[in-house]
Each structure stands twice: as C-alpha cells, then as structure tokens.
C-alpha cells in the first residue's frame, strides 16, 4: 500500500469514531510528517482526492482543520465554514475566528467565502450582544460632552515589549499622555487566551500566551524609546470571551469616565458594543478593514486596495485616514550582539530574517534566493530569528547547516542588538515584517523586500521590489559593494526619521478623536 493510501486509510479510521482518542493524535502527527515528505505533485493529487471523495462525517470540523494544517490548501478551511452553523455563541465565535484568522495570517491565498462567513458571524453575534447590553442599560447612546482627555486603548493581548502589539498599545498611550495631556488606560481584554479550551475538538488548537503579572487595575512602569514613565493598565481575566466579560469591560469603561476609545487591533464584539457611545478609532498594523465598526480608521494607505474598499463599502465602514503603519520599533542598541557567540566572524556578510511564523512564511522562491546567496559567496551567512520551532533542515541541505552557513537562533530578547550584529535584513513574502524591519532600519540595516504586505509602508518606494530577480540583484549588490551598502543604510535611516514619525501619527489620531467628539455635539 502506498503512502498516500495509508494516509487516506488512517484518516478514514480516526475521524469515523465518536471521538478522537489520545493515541489517535500520535498517529495524526505521523500523518502530518509523512504528508510533508510527499512530492508537490503527489501531494496535490492526494489533496484533490480528499476534497472530492466522501469522508467521515463524525468529526468533520477537526478533520478539515487537520487537513488544512497538513496541506495548507484553503479549500479545507472553506469546508469548515460549510459545517459550522450560521449563528455561533459568543465563545464559539471567538474560537472559530482566532483559529481561522491565525492560520490565514501567514497565507497569501485569500477566501471570500471565509471572510464573508466571519463577518456574518461577527454581525450576528455583536448585534445580539449589543441588544442585550442596551436592554440592561450598559450602553447609553450618547457621546461624552467634552474634548476627550480620558482615553482607553483596547488590546486583545498584552505581553512584553518584545511583543509588537503590546508596543503599539503602550506607544499610543505614552504619546497621548506625554504630548496631549491625556489620562490613558490600556485595556487588556485577554480575549486571545483560549488555553485549555477546545470546544471545536481541534487536533492543533491555536494557543496564545498571557502576561500573568497583569491582573486587575495596575499602574506599571514602562521604558520605551525616550519614554520613562508609568501607564494605567486594566486587565480582565484570561479565558474565552463571554457576555458577562464584555459587560464588565463596557461597565468598567463607563465607571472610569472614558471619553474616547482607540481599538488596538480587531477587538470584534467589544468594540462594536462601544461603537456610537463614544468617539472611537481603529489604529493598528494589522487588518486594514476590521470586523468591528469605528468612527474612523487609521490604516496603511498602500494596503487600502480595491478589495478593501469594496469590503468597507459593503459593511458600512467609512472615514479612513490614509497613513503609514504605526511606527513602533523596539529601540536602538547601545552595542551589537557578539558575533562570536553565534559562531560568526567579522569578515562574513550576515543576512538577518526575523519572524514568529517563519515555518509557514518561507516559500520556495524565497528559499531559492537564500540558496543563491549562499552558493555565490563562501562568506555569506543567513541568520533566522524569532521562531524556535523553525526546522532549517526542511529547507536547506545538511551541509549548509553543519557549516553554520544558515542557523536559527530562535526567539531573542534583544532584537536591536541582533540587528546591529548583522549586515542586511531579508523579508520573506508575507503580510508581516513591519515592526521588525523598523527595528532593523534604526539599527543600521537596509531592507530587501517585495512590494507587498505591511513592510511596504516602511521602506522607500524605490526599494519595494516587484520581482524575485530584482530582489536578488539588490541583495547581492548590498553584499558586494561596501560603499553602496553604507549609502543604502543611511538612505533607509533618513527615510525612517523623515517619513515615519510616531509623534505626528498619534497627533493626527488624537485630532481625529477631537473632531469626532466636536461633530457629535453639533
């Protein structure tokens, strides 16, 4: 029996019982490993067979999630939509949303079917919740009669300053407090904490961390860039979102006398419950058009394409501020990390690749670029950082690994120092990379990237490459011509400090909140 036939037989057997036992999960891990060993053509034939044959109907949602995790074919996630009800409970909606959106974040393939289903689930869930809160008197339909000075910044997850979304939330609060005299509260909803919850029965449910030191109402010290002050942080219990949890969040904001709210990220039903009760603004490096509604949206202009415009029009989003992405680098290192600690030497040219999802984001074309760089010069080294579970043996020959030509240094607490240790930043073909590239630039690295995703808002327009050939040519020239490398490093720094002004960004955000507040009184 062939490998493909064994895989089909195992899937038929495991997913045709009442429940998936622990010993079955061990077999599923083996199936996933064997599937990765198949040639692209064999894998595609197997995918088509699984999509067009009749499969067990007993554990259908975890089965299709599992098949997506094995083959990364979006049609398996589209099958999940077919088997979920049109109306979901609040907890189930968050679980479905987080598991689907996290998987698709690193995918270049989009699905109108999935995005439409998520928005329909969001609309139904939030409308039901808002009606409930309104019936209990928890959402008075009136904007505060004041220029907003008490501002809440909603975050689904706060961790530490190595965590890009945490930096974004804190940076907004620090700027508003320091330059606009606002009393800010960073609201940690902990809406992403689904540890121990698996009502979908998934083989690999998405798990998110939480900051155990954040609990209740706290004033915490924050050192970030030139800021050294304290912030008010309000943390709600970890765990799934429930009606009571949302009610507590909304009630807390009213008790604090909050006069405006910034939705840091797609805060879904929480933000929807606050919409039209106080000035609200969406500002993040993530989705261009969130599911939740706000009075205004601060978004990267280059990502607001025809598709995003159509979504905005279809679902009633307007008043978009055409900007860059939020500027939140990790900081400038006082000195570089030691090359010796990583088996690197001064004469070597070191390319840096940073990301927390690199095991999904390294496509064939990018790996071919890396291999060409390595083969064309014996002093070239490539360092991967941010993803401990990245197995380089899946992408590179063993010789490259044993000779330390490529290495994965995992998660690093001091990315600025690691950046200064390297010579150039390579960006894979992905949505993210925006904040790690900011850190690289201010620590003296030029950026090599395709013209797509968040990172395009960071680099000068003439350095957004349209093809992999252009990408490779530029990466080689940076290595071969030291004078060109130095001039490019300086050009990137000048661009960053001239065009990516966090203070100016937050001023425009605050001015918009004031305009919304003023217009509400007329």
pLDDT (tens digit, 9 = 90+) per residue, 198-209? 999 999 998 888
pLDDT (tens digit, 9 = 90+) per residue, 228-282? 999 999 999 988 889 999 999 999 999 999 999 999 878 889 999 999 999 999 9
pLDDT confidence of 145, banded at 50, 70, 90? low
* C-alpha 364, offset from chain centre: 22
Indicate the class that CATH gives domain 340-499: alpha beta
Is the pLDDT score of 144 beyond 70? Answer: no
Vertex 110 angle, CA 107 and 114, to 5°: 115
Only one residue has tokens 């030291």, namely: 482
- Residue ranges per structural domain of the chain: 1-83, 133-327+502-521, 340-499
Model pTM above 0.85? yes
Of the listed ranges 39-53, 131-145, 374-388, 493-507, the one predicted with least confidence: 131-145
Interaxial angle between packed helices 112-135 and 90-105, expressed in degrees from 0 to 180 and rounded to the nearest 10: 150
Q: Do the domains 340-499 and 133-327+502-521 match in fold?
A: yes
Mean pLDDT over 425-446 rounds to: 92
- Decide which of 3.40.50, 1.10.10, 1.25.40, 3.90.25 is the CATH code for 133-327+502-521: 3.40.50
Q: What is the pLDDT of residue 239?
A: 82
Is the pLDDT score of 141 beyond 70? Answer: no
Annotate 290-310 with DSSP letters as a single string. Answer: -SS--SEEEEEGGG--HHHHH
Buried b or exposed e, range 117-143, using 16+ CB within 10 angstroms: bbeebbeebbeebbebbeeeebbeeeb
Percent of the chain's residues with pLDDT above 70: 98
Q: What's the mean per-residue pLDDT of the chain?
A: 92
Q: What is the pLDDT of residue 183?
A: 97
Is the pLDDT score of 153 beyond 70? Answer: yes
* C-alpha 108, offset from chain centre: 13
Mean pLDDT over 145-164 rounds to: 90
Pairing between β-strand 227-235 and β-strand 183-188 as defined by DSSP bridges: parallel
């Amino acid at each position: 029996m062939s490998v493909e036939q064994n895989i089909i037989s195992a899937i038929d057997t495991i997913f045709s019982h009442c429940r998936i036992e622990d010993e079955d999960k061990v077999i599923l891990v083996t199936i996933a490993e064997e599937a990765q060993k198949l040639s692209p053509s064999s894998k595609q034939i197997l995918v088509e067979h699984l999509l067009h044959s009749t499969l067990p109907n007993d554990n259908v949602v975890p089965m299709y999630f599992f098949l997506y995790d094995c083959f990364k074919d979006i049609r398996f996630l589209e099958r999940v939509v077919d088997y979920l009800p049109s109306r979901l409970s609040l907890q189930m909606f968050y679980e479905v949303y987080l598991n689907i959106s996290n998987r698709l974040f690193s995918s270049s393939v989009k699905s109108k079917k999935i995005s439409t289903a998520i928005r329909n689930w969001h609309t139904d869930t939030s409308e039901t919740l808002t009606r409930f809160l309104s019936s209990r008197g928890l959402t008075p339909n009136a904007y505060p009669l004041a220029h907003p000075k008490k501002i809440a910044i909603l975050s689904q997850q706060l961790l530490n300053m190595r965590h890009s979304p945490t930096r974004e939330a804190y940076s907004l609060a620090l700027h508003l407090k320091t330059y606009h005299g606002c009393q800010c509260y960073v609201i940690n909803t902990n809406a992403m904490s689904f540890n121990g919850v698996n009502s979908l029965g998934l083989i690999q449910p998405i798990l998110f961390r939480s900051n155990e030191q954040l609990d209740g109402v706290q004033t915490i010290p924050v050192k970030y860039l030139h800021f050294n002050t304290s912030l008010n942080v309000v943390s709600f219990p970890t765990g799934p979102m429930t009606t009571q949890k949302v009610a507590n969040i909304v009630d807390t904001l009213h008790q604090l006398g909050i006069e405006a709210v910034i939705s840091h990220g797609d805060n879904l039903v929480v933000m929807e419950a606050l919409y039209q009760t106080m000035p609200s603004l969406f500002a993040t490096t993530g989705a261009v058009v969130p599911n939740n509604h706000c009075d205004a949206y601060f978004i990267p202009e280059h990502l607001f394409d025809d598709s995003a415009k159509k979504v905005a029009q279809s679902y009633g989003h307007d008043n978009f501020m055409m900007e860059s992405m939020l500027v939140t680098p990790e900081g400038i290192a006082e000195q570089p990390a030691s090359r010796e600690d990583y088996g690197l030497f001064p004469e070597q040219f070191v390319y840096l690749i940073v990301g927390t999802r690199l095991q999904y984001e390294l496509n064939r074309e990018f790996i071919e670029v890396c291999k060409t760089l390595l083969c064309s010069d014996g002093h070239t080294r490539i360092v991967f950082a941010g993803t401990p579970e990245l197995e380089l043996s899946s992408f590179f020959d063993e010789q490259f690994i044993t000779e330390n030509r490529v290495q994965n240094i995992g998660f690093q607490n001091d990315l600025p120092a690691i950046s200064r240790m390297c010579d150039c930043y390579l960006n894979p073909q992905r949505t993210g990379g925006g904040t790690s590239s900011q850190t690289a630039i201010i620590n003296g690295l030029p950026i090599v990237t395709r013209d797509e995703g968040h990172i395009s808002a960071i680099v000068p327009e003439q350095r957004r490459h349209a093809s992999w050939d252009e990408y490779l040519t530029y990466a080689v020239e940076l290595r071969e011509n030291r004078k060109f490398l130095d001039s490019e490093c300086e050009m990137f720094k000048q661009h960053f400090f001239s065009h990516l002004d966090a203070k100016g960004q937050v001023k425009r955000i605050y001015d918009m909140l004031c305009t919304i507040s003023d217009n509400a009184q007329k």
